[in-house]
Amino acid sequence: MTRFTVNNQPVQYRMDPNTPLLWALRDASNLTGTKYGCGNGQCGACTVDIDGEAVHACQTTIGAIEGSFVTTIEGLSRERDHPVQLAWIAHNVPQCGFCIPGMIMAASVLLKKNRNPSEDDVRTGITNLCRCGTYPRIVEAVLAAARVQRGDETIAAGAPPGIDPADAARRVPALTPLQDKPK
């Protein structure tokens, strides 16, 4: 059995130690915010924080991180009010949304290590791919989040409305049939 901590909760997986962390998180723990993108560690959609490092979960086996502390997007901020998350909203970064969890995790790790990054630090420190091409807004959002974390700025945006984060992985919205348009 492999044991480590995920989002401040001790876990033990009865899975082959060679299982990629991505699949343990998604399939065994139902933490679906960590996305499968390319499967070979190039896109960053599966980025999580392991002991303070931005790591691609698709390339990391659960056996290799025995005793580690893993933070996923679900554990970054229960209320979705982490400065990086708020900056993403305030700077209109989201488009399709697929890369966002991994990108936010990479940004949060960067800001733990560098409280005052330059634009170049952000561009070289976050190598995740965004197919929608929102890179200029991503850089702006990371720099804004850094200012917020330093106490130099506040962000007026509140946490996004929607499903309670505790229910996010379990709730399925009700479907309603399409109605005919009035004539």
Tell the burial category of 2 from Cβ atoms under 10 Å away from its Cβ (0-12, 13-18, 19+).
buried
Residue 52 to residue 60: CA distance in whole angstroms:
15
Strand 2-6's sheet: what is its strand order? 9-13, 2-6, 69-71, 47-50, 53-56
Instruction: Tell me the pLDDT tens digit for each residue of 29-57.
Output: 999 999 999 999 999 999 999 999 999 99
Per domain, the residue ranges of the chain are: 2-76, 83-158
CATH top-level class of 83-158 = mainly alpha
Residue 131 to residue 99: CA distance in whole angstroms:
8
Reference 25, options 51, 2, 57; nearest CA is 57
Answer yes or no: same fold for 2-76 and 83-158: no
Tell me the two tokens of residue 171: 């709730």
Tell me the two tokens of residue 157: 């945006």
Instruction: Tell me the pLDDT tens digit for each residue of 135-166.
Output: 999 999 999 999 999 999 888 655 455 656 55
pLDDT, residue 178, reads: 44
CATH top-level class of 2-76 = alpha beta
| Radius of gyration (C-alpha) of the chain in whole angstroms | 17
* Contact indicator for 103, 47 with CB cutoff of 8 Å: yes
Reference 34, options 55, 5, 16; nearest CA is 55
pLDDT, residue 175, reads: 42
